[in-house]
Structure 1
Amino acid sequence: MSNIQESAHQLEVAIQESDEFKDLKAAYEKVMNEPSSREMFDNFRNVQLELQQKQMQGLEITEEEVEKAKSVVELVQQHEDISKLMEQEQRVNMLINDISRTITKPLEELYSAE
């Protein structure tokens, strides 16, 4: 294993051991262990995926689909456990984005150098 790959593996472990990831995992497990919460969350994710797939295929999203998505989002935002899960997911995404900026910094500096 190369030095860079080894560092990447260490980073993977560090992310899994981070408070952000542990909080996300706990929030996820709480939602998944409650059947009605899980059903609501799965419905939310399915609506999200359907709309993303349509966008990627260049298909038009109907007004009806937009309204359905809005109502599903409003519903999950009112659910305390799912709302907490989404907040924790956002924290992990921010962490990963920060890491990504750090990793890509050498390329950015290379291409911005004159």
Structure 2
Amino acid sequence: MANLQEQANQLEQALRESAEFKDLKQAYDAVMSDPAAKQMFENFRETQLNLQEKHMQGLDISEEEIEKARQIVETVQQHEAISKLMEEEQKLNNVINEISQIITKPLEELYGAAE
């Protein structure tokens, strides 16, 4: 088990050193260094998290909340630095999803063989 944890720590370090993570950090730093962009991004994240929390709790999301979220998304997508941050985040998420598929392959093969 310790060997797996060590390898996971090495993977974490490799992720931190990857171009995708460095590009994401640079985009994040650009947004955080611009007070208006930072506020806009934080408002977006707060709205996103609130809607996710309500959804996970099985609570209804009102049309008003959906419309407000849609407007916030439109606004942040028009901001060049935030749009770049979201693009870089998606690139890193794609890498993480690929890694996750590789890591879970033994389980998929095991349970897939049982069918």
Render the CA deviation track for 1:45-70: whole Å, top value 9, x for unaligned.
Answer: 01001101111111100000000000
Q: 2:86 — aligned with what?
A: 86
CA–CA separation in structure 1 for the residues paired with 2:62 and 2:112: 42
Shift >3 Å, 4+ stretches? none
Q: Count residues with an aligned counterpart.
A: 114
Q: CA deviation at 1:112?
A: 1.1
TM-score by length of 2: 0.97
Counterpart code for 1:71: Q
Structure 2 residues not aligned, in runs of 5+? none
Three-state SS of the structure 2 residue aligned to 1:113 is helix
Counterpart code for 2:66: V
Three-state SS of the structure 1 residue aligned to 2:104 is helix
Q: 1:58 — aligned with what?
A: 58
CA–CA separation in structure 2 for the residues paired with 1:22 and 1:89: 11
CA–CA separation in structure 1 for the residues paired with 2:4 and 2:31: 36
Q: 1:76 — aligned with what?
A: 76
TM-score by length of 1: 0.98
Structure 1 residues not aligned, in runs of 5+? none
Render the CA deviation track for 1:3-53: whole Å, top value 9, x for unaligned.
Answer: 111100000000000000000000000000110000000000010011011
CA–CA separation in structure 2 for the residues paired with 1:97 and 1:38: 27
CA–CA separation in structure 2 for the residues paired with 1:104 and 1:44: 32
Counterpart code for 1:88: E
Q: Identity of paired residues, percent?
A: 64
Q: CA deviation at 1:110?
A: 0.8
